[in-house]
Amino acid sequence: MKVNGLHYHTIWVNENDSSVIEVIDQRRLPFVFETVQLKTETDAFEAIRNMTVRGAPLIGVTGAFGMYLALINYHETIPLQEYIQEKADYLKTARPTAVNLAILIDEMVDALRNYTDKESVIELALKMATEMKNREISWSEQIGEYGCELIEAISKKKNGEPVNILTHCNAGWLACIDWGTATAPIYKAFLKGIPIHVWVDETRPRNQGARLTAWELRQAGVPHTVIPDNTGGHLMQHGMVDICIVGSDRTTATGDVANKIGTYLKALAAEDNQVPFYVALPSSTFDFNLSDGINEIPIEQRDASEVNQMEGISPEGKIHTVRIMPEGSPVANYGFDVTPARLVTGLVTERGICEANRESISSLFQK
């Protein structure tokens, strides 16, 4: 997608030095557009952990490039295969909920298993990380095509009146490599000239909706309105939301969906008001080993400072962090919640749209 008219991905290999990986620093948006260089696996780990990069597909691809950086820095002090496993285990702990991280790293470890020399594994790791990146782009685009059909159908029913889409957090191109998951259908519909309007949940505590989704949509010129997190139910009661589309960090084989905290409450409101509630996700976000999302998906708990402080920009352009609650009040900061499959109308994947149940999911993903 474009930033001030220039096409960007969220992660790329430095064009002058292939041992350097570049990423967009998402902690600074929407106030400052800056990129950061990753040179070691520790840089990749920290970028994931401190949310320089975030969003399930991007976390996974950053982990894959992290493996590549780890291999460049292999100094033969321990056997190669032992080293690969150690670095994979390390990188996989950067964040717990988005399953893409473990899936992509495990895929890479499997492929590297029979190699014994450093040069070959470096070459293969770079090739694989690049392929994984490109694969995510094409999956996102395909999700966009399928999801766009849903928006188009609503548009026809509304005789061309704008379709109101509610989304939560940032499941946009920033969370992926390009296009996004939840935003891919939005961008496709917009490019097709279908009149749309997006309700953007601010998404406390880190405000990925207000900060990142709103920024993305503004860059693309898509009509949108940012709403406080607790507004969605009211809008749905008054017929102001035609469809909800959210992303996912991990979806079970039975269709339970972990996504940014607050998603579940939107799904409940959608169910109560007969608003279709769709989840857009690539196959790299399915955890086919799990069948009970509420009890089996690990939910990240994050620092209290994300809740008791807020960052903003002054009219003079200075970025400030302020405390917004009494000093010393305890805070709970769960990063994700699980929406049970029964509240999900459908899953929009790169292979098509299916119902959120084991039979329907396995009919699309037999392998």
Which among 16-24, 168-176, 235-243, 307-315 is the span making contact with ligand MRU, rule CB under 6 A?
168-176
Our answer to whether residue 249 is catalytic in this structure is yes
Single out the residue of 176, 210, 241, 245 in contact with ligand MRU (rule: CB under 6 A): 176
Single out the residue of 136, 202, 229, 249 in contact with ligand MRU (rule: CB under 6 A): 249
Shorter beta-carbon distance to ligand MRU: residue 263 or 345: 263
Record the tokens describing residue 288, joined without a space.
Answer: 């086919």
Q: Which one of the listed residues 43, 229, 242, 249 is annotated catalytic?
A: 249
Q: Is the bond preceding 340 in cis, omega lying within 30 degrees of 0?
A: no
Q: Indicate whether 335 belongs to the interface with ligand MRU (CB under 6 A).
A: yes
Q: Indicate whether 171 belongs to the interface with ligand MRU (CB under 6 A).
A: yes
Record the tokens describing residue 81, joined without a space.
Answer: 């295969």
Shorter beta-carbon distance to ligand MRU: residue 105 or 175: 175
What distance in Å separates the CA atoms of residue 155 and residue 166, rounded to the nearest whole number? 15
Q: Indicate whether 175 belongs to the interface with ligand MRU (CB under 6 A).
A: yes
| CA nearest to 22, candidates 8, 31, 11, 7 | 11
Minimum distance of ligand MRU from residue 282's CB (angstroms): 8
Instruction: Kindly write out the interface string for residues 40-79 of this chain, putting x where it contacts ligand MRU by CB under 6 A and - elsewhere.
Output: --------------xxxx----------------------
Place of tokens 């991905």: 9
What distance in Å separates the CA atoms of residue 204 and residue 225, rounded to the nearest whole number? 16
| CA nearest to 207, candidates 181, 229, 182, 224 | 229
DSSP 179-246: S-SSHHHHHHHHHTT--EEEEEE--TTTTHIIIIIHHHHHHHT--EEEE-GGGHHHHHHTT--SEEEE
Shorter beta-carbon distance to ligand MRU: residue 155 or 259: 259
Q: Which residues bind ligand MRU (CB under 6 A)?
A: 54-57, 98, 169, 171, 175-176, 181, 208, 247-249, 259-260, 335
